[in-house]
A and B are shown apart, each in its own frame.
Chain A
């Protein structure tokens, strides 16, 4: 079944050259696009057909994951994985501290995370950290994959959800020199984020990955999933190691700490951006990001004072002239 499916995706690869809308395809792919979505996809430089083909791949993967047993899933992943793991395995094995693998929801990130966790799990305990399916519906796939592939404790791979208990477990694991896989491009609470320039716009980014590094002494390894070839192939690419830049971070006040955390996250997203900007259509958040996030950049240092003054006098922050209660 898997081989047929891979063959099907490969056979459909000429679809990538298509650049007109196909309502029929959108129905088949369960991909209802608005005009704004179409414009967003095209603004990435990708043809609409490439986006359709990418969605076909996602559907096939999601379908396969639901149906395969452990042996079949392992074989499928091995068949489509074109990653060179030698460097990362060596770096993790030799690490004196915990390691935070930061991977965005880009391309075949589910396969990349799974294959990487399986490799590293042979050498150290790997904790895959993500939103619980009860609140993040799409993440049920991780729970299912874990159940299929990693239910044997000997695999060395655990799933932890982003609950308070999960956070405690992640911190404890990192302090013990374990690996935590985390997806930093997910943000549930906009008000808890800061804006980071990313691909010509401003992304609402949580600082949690940097916070974990600061609290545990772990270093961060930005990782990206890339598509490989015309079928379901993927390749996991590893970025430059990021160490928390301030040795005595505990001496910083909370505001200074937040700025330092921000600087770390900016480095993480800068590494992502270097690759993702040329294939942004493969990012799970692409449509929402390109249709609703603010364009432009942040204010430079020499404009901060005037920006602060403008906000202080902005009527948005003033009190109403009058309040009338009509309840």
Chain B
């Protein structure tokens, strides 16, 4: 695999997480470009670290982004409303493209798709959604397949409700023998506020 393109500009390559690509990164060793992805994978660069240097004159001219690894609520914070569901994407590709003049070269099942620097956010999002949908065609070769549910709004709502129930249950358990003490009421009032805000977000 070669990340050279006939252009002197800045390029971000959006690639799926597969074993062959991981092997290639290991082979090229120190000369490989920064790879943006999950913090718990050795060798990955954090998106925030890249954004700190992306505007500098010596900013990396080539970066690889594993968009498929950026699923969690702390990483994927841009909500995309699709016809069939709502999913979250990382903002890093959009920021690199619109603020730091990175062109994107996005892997899809039909080949690499180019997104010129300073494109419309909706156009960037549409290509990234296509990329993630096409990653699914890789089947078991796609190493991040099982984590994609974490970027769906429905999963996050379920997880959020479960966390709130856990908190409410913990309060109930702590005060079950003395349900009328003030401390219990204070906690429950705070939980009620959180629940109301969370429920309201469901209908937003």
Q: Please report A residues at the B interface, Cβ cutoff 8 Å.
A: 190-191, 193-197, 202, 204, 246, 252-253, 255-260, 262-263, 266, 294, 298-301, 303-304, 307-308, 311-312, 314-327
Contacts and interface: CB of A to CB of B under 8 A. Distances in A.
B160 A317 contact: yes
A307 B172 contact: no
A296 to B, nearest CB: 10
A256 B172 contact: no
A316 B163 contact: yes
A28 to B, nearest CB: 31
Contact of A304 (B72, B171, B180, B192): B171
B148 interface: no
B19 interface: no
Nearest to A207: B172
A262 B167 contact: no
Nearest to B121: A324
Nearest to A312: B194
Contacts of A308: 167, 187, 190-191
Q: Which 6 A-B pairs have the closest CB atoms?
A: A263-B176, A259-B179, A301-B174, A195-B169, A262-B172, A320-B79
A203 to B, nearest CB: 10
A311 B159 CA distance: 12
B173 A326 contact: no
Nearest to A245: B177
Contacts of B173: 196-197, 262, 266, 298
Given A266-B173, A266-B176, A315-B77, A327 B164 contact: no
Chain B contact residues, majority secondary structure = helix
Contact of A256 (B126, B170, B180): B180
Nearest to B169: A195
Nearest to B153: A320
B121 A255 contact: no
Given A196-B169, A252-B179, A326 B164 contact: no
Interface of B: 72-74, 77-83, 88, 91, 121-122, 125-126, 129, 156, 159-177, 179-180, 184-185, 187-188, 190-192, 194, 197-198, 201
Given A321-B78, A325-B81, A202 B73 contact: no
Given A311-B194, A327-B83, A193 B174 contact: no
A193 B165 contact: yes
Contact of B170 (A190, A263, A304, A321): A304
A279 B11 CA distance: 60
A268 to B, nearest CB: 12
A304 B169 CA distance: 11
A326 B194 contact: no
B82 A322 contact: no
Nearest to A253: B185
Given A255-B188, A323-B79, A324-B81, A263 B179 contact: yes
B158 to A, nearest CB: 8
7 contacts: A195-B169, A255-B188, A299-B170, A315-B74, A322-B77, A322-B79, A327-B83
Contact of B159 (A246, A266, A303, A316): A316
A326 B77 contact: no
B31 to A, nearest CB: 34
Nearest to A308: B190
B187 A323 contact: no
Contacts of B125: 324, 326
A202 B172 CA distance: 14
Contacts of A258: 172
